[in-house]
Amino acid sequence: MGAPLKDRDTFLEQGIETDVLCELCERTIICILARETVCRIKTNLHTCHGVYCDVCLYSHLEYDNTCPIHEDVVLFHVPQPEFVHGDRRAADTLDQTTDHNEASDFVCRLFHTTKILRDYKQIFDSDIKEQINAALADIGERYNHKFGLLIKDEHMAGVIDIAREMVKMHFKVLETAVVGETYVAQEFLPKMDEAVGWNHARGFGW
């Protein structure tokens, strides 16, 4: 028997003889029950001549690296995992935003969501954070942040301060004027740039 191949992908590519032919008629053998073509492990890797439905063999090899018949025969090596710090499904953070439209939309969305706080007699930090998270959720979905959109802890205090300024503006213009998105962007985008560390104000044309 030959030495085990280095990994599963190599074995699937080099270690299986597919479309096994009948020794008499030289036509491809079909498994009558599964209606699948028959395959076998190449003899230079393993002396076993067992034949399998291709679906059965590939299903076995998905979770096992031994011969289906001879469990002591290792066909390929299974690499050991590499342990990596962090989260495979980490959410994106606001400071990673490089698109002008997304940055502007976040600021305008936050301005819109904080409008509800005009009706509060007392406004707690948790109330402001709730509106910030609502804006993040909306922008995260709109711009396809698959695992969500978050603000880093070190940036949150600055964003909360900006949200407070927005609430003050809501009170200032209450029932007297409509603040357009262009004005909101011009007023708050540079402040948000400083708060979250975008560092691309010039690129945004601010």
Q: What is the pLDDT of residue 1?
A: 64
The segments of the chain whose pLDDT lies below 50 read 201-206
Which of 109, 106, 131 is closest to 118 using CA atoms?
Answer: 131
Q: What is the pLDDT of residue 165?
A: 94
Q: What is the pLDDT of residue 176?
A: 55
Q: What is the pLDDT of residue 203?
A: 45
Q: What is the pLDDT of residue 24?
A: 67
Q: What is the pLDDT of residue 200?
A: 53
**Residue linked to tokens 């495979």:** 88
Distance (Å, rounded) from C-alpha 199 to C-alpha 98?
10
Q: What is the pLDDT of residue 205?
A: 45
Distance (Å, rounded) from C-alpha 62 to C-alpha 171?
63
Q: What is the pLDDT of residue 206?
A: 42
Tokens of 124: 């707690």
Q: How many CB atoms lie within 10 A of CB 183?
A: 13
Q: What is the pLDDT of residue 204?
A: 45
Q: What is the pLDDT of residue 202?
A: 45
pTM (predicted TM-score): 0.57
Distance (Å, rounded) from C-alpha 20 to C-alpha 40?
7
Q: What is the pLDDT of residue 119?
A: 87
Summarised one tens digit per residue, pLDDT across range 135-157 is: 999 999 999 998 999 999 999 99
